[in-house]
Chain A
């Protein structure tokens, strides 16, 4: 279906990561780790480019949970920061502090050590949990939260297969978000039937630190479901965010679409308002489904009446030949 899928060689999970890891370590000695890591990333990108439509090994959901491993870099950063703070804190543990500044440095480093250690532990735990225990992952939890009875959810393999199947058959990708007919797969999963609000966030946040401004662009898609739960996914390209919203407008036309600034007002409405919104939503959806039902599954059935037997066309040539024979 695609111009992509140019075929050819492709390393599948986990061999692609194993090969890249070995390459990074091996080539790191020769050309430096930064360059070898860049080359490995380039290789992975090239593989993806050549097989854009191919489902990842194990499915889209499992691939998403596995990718949490990459976030271990954040854990490493937290660990380094905790180590730095810890060195300062523990070295100052037995020292005599004469000035207020000494106390302040000691206390801040202690606090930093504690905070970064907690961050390290939580991040590591979440990343390892998602990657190696997908049943407990954020993704699996979000899928369960979309089911009618989350407590009676089937095993995670079935949950993931359910979403994967829809994405494989009907999914349209917008950066990190895939929108199928029934599911939206991002950092969380949303059931399209439950989508009540879609909020796009494209903001540039600036802050003043150490005498200079730092800016960051936040591009996120927020989906609010009928249980007022919020599922969010970060994206990298603003145009993709707009396209994803456009696609959701087609797939969930009755949902409320707005900017991120209004999400709180949407979610925090009173129970009475929420019920009124829900009733209106259901009414409009039923009307649309009825129209589609009429088109796709006709009421009743049609059996053509047997046509009145007409006089068959006469082969006059044959009649003429037979008349000639009679002579």
Chain B
């Protein structure tokens, strides 16, 4: 038997929540599954969190999200009598009346469930502390304590009670965070950074202090977040870069984007696009890395500073970012489709991409100008096309394109 739960669960929590080690995290999955299957409800619950998506653990743990499996495991954990499973199900809306009935085979009420977890937290379990903190933070405590407006003399009194309870999350989060559970700092940080109307005002300095503490403790996600604060401080950019490097080395793939950008822009360090490209490529191990996809795509599209032009790969990367609803590289992607750079010519798609964006660049205006003056996928409208060309500032292709058209005596734009 482990200190707080079974050996398997204790070591799984340790591997997944108190460390940032992908291999360790992957290694505990099999034992967790076996333990869950052998009747360990807590193991089923911890396993269910692994399939719930990156918001339930570190972003870069090697877990494949699967809603169906999550639901199966949550149900299993409740039927096996896991108090954490009940609180977790409540948090993600899976504590249905049927599940609540199943819970009653082990705990008479939600209050008993909460007490069971609370005891673990009191005994020093960081994971349980975070769970207790969350029951306050998300006000699940209302349901746990079976409270409603009718229990209070006034709406204001109920509000006051809610505010007081929400703030009770902070000491729990703090203890868990300081104790070694980096994950526990997230909601606390958000509460300080954004504040909550009627509960507390934003306190950015406190939020920064949390990020600093996390960075000092070596949590890679917090190193990245604190580096963001340092970048805004004069003379501390180098320190920020070091933190990004430290985070990236621990597997925080998103940090490669910031490092790459630093080399790309050449403000803090000498400009080195080849180095920037390497960083972006490393970040791209995470397919969700929109920033790396866009910036690497830009380098390959422009093909300068030591990076050979590769439209096909640029299209692939911009498409990767675009598939995640990001339009940053639409002007370059649209240009590729318009002229068939690295892909089949598709002016209709180019137009669609150009129209999606809310910014204006020479490339975008030149592309739209070409589409309208040539009537590619739209009825030809030379006047509109010329207006787009005229929006381009110091852009030779647009200046040359403008020379193809002239205004007649009657003010109509025609092809020269």
Contacts and interface: CB of A to CB of B under 8 A. Distances in A.
A184 to B, nearest CB: 14
Contacts of A313: 62-64
Contacts of A299: 306
B307 A302 contact: yes
Contacts of B36: 320, 323
Given A172-B400, A299-B306, A305-B281, A316 B37 contact: no
A77 interface: no
Given A314-B63, A323-B30, A302 B69 contact: no
A205 to B, nearest CB: 25
Contacts of A106: none
B63 A172 contact: no
A320 B33 contact: yes
Contacts of B415: 2-4, 52
Contact of B274 (A240, A302, A319, A326): A302
B404 interface: yes
A311 B284 CA distance: 14
Contact of A298 (B22, B29, B307, B399): B307
A316 B51 contact: yes
Interface string B40-64: 0000000100110000000010111
Contacts of B47: 316, 320
Interface residues of B, number: 51
A207 interface: no
Given A308-B282, A314-B29, A317-B66, A172 B306 contact: no
Interface stretch (B144-152, B166-174, B189-197, B297-305): B297-305
A298 B305 contact: yes
Listed residue (B22, B29, B30, B403) with the most chain A CB atoms within 10 angstroms of its CB = B403
A304 interface: yes
B285 interface: yes
B306 A317 contact: no
A300 interface: yes
B301 to A, nearest CB: 11
A174 interface: yes
Nearest to A327: B37
Interface string A264-296: 000000000000000000000000000000111
Given A2-B415, A301-B308, A310-B251, A316 B63 contact: yes
A322 interface: yes
B278 interface: yes
Nearest to B380: A3
B416 interface: yes
Interface in B361-413: 374-375, 380, 382, 396, 399-400, 403-404, 406
A260 interface: no
B66 A316 contact: yes
Contacts of B72: 320
Interface in A161-187: 172-174
A306 to B, nearest CB: 9
Listed residue (B285, B380, B382) with the most chain A CB atoms within 10 angstroms of its CB = B285
Listed residue (A301, A302, A304) with the most chain B CB atoms within 10 angstroms of its CB = A302
Nearest to A251: B400
Given A246-B403, A250-B399, A319-B29, A311 B62 contact: yes
A325 to B, nearest CB: 9
Interface in B253-301: 274, 277-278, 281-282, 284-285
B23 interface: yes
A313 B110 CA distance: 35
A24 to B, nearest CB: 30
A106 B23 CA distance: 114
B94 interface: no
A248 B274 CA distance: 36
Contacts of B416: 173-174, 240, 243
Contacts of A172: 400, 403-404
A322 B33 CA distance: 9
Nearest to A301: B308
Nearest to B50: A316
A216 interface: no
Contacts of A322: 33
A247 B303 contact: no
Given A250-B400, A308-B282, A298 B306 contact: yes
A101 interface: no
A52 B404 CA distance: 13
A316 B23 CA distance: 14
B356 interface: no
Contacts of B25: 311
Nearest to A324: B37
B71 to A, nearest CB: 11
Interface string B100-138: 000000000000000000000000000000000000000
Given A3-B380, A307-B285, A320-B69, A295 B302 contact: yes
Nearest to B253: A310
Contacts of A294: 304-305
A14 interface: no
Nearest to B44: A320
Interface in B305-319: 305-309
A99 interface: no
Contacts of A2: 374, 415
A302 B34 contact: no
Contact of B26 (A174, A302, A311): A311
A326 B281 CA distance: 41
A1 interface: yes
16 contacts: A3-B374, A3-B375, A4-B415, A239-B406, A250-B403, A295-B303, A298-B309, A300-B306, A301-B306, A304-B277, A304-B281, A316-B64, A316-B69, A320-B36, A320-B73, A324-B37
The 3 closest A-B pairs by CB, nearest first: A323-B33, A311-B22, A317-B69
Interface of A: 1-4, 52, 172-174, 239-240, 243, 246-247, 250, 294-296, 298-302, 304-305, 307-308, 310-317, 319-320, 322-324, 326-327
Given A316-B47, A316-B69, 16 more contacts: A4-B415, A172-B403, A250-B399, A295-B303, A295-B304, A296-B309, A310-B22, A310-B251, A312-B62, A316-B50, A322-B33, A323-B30, A323-B36, A323-B37, A326-B37, A327-B38
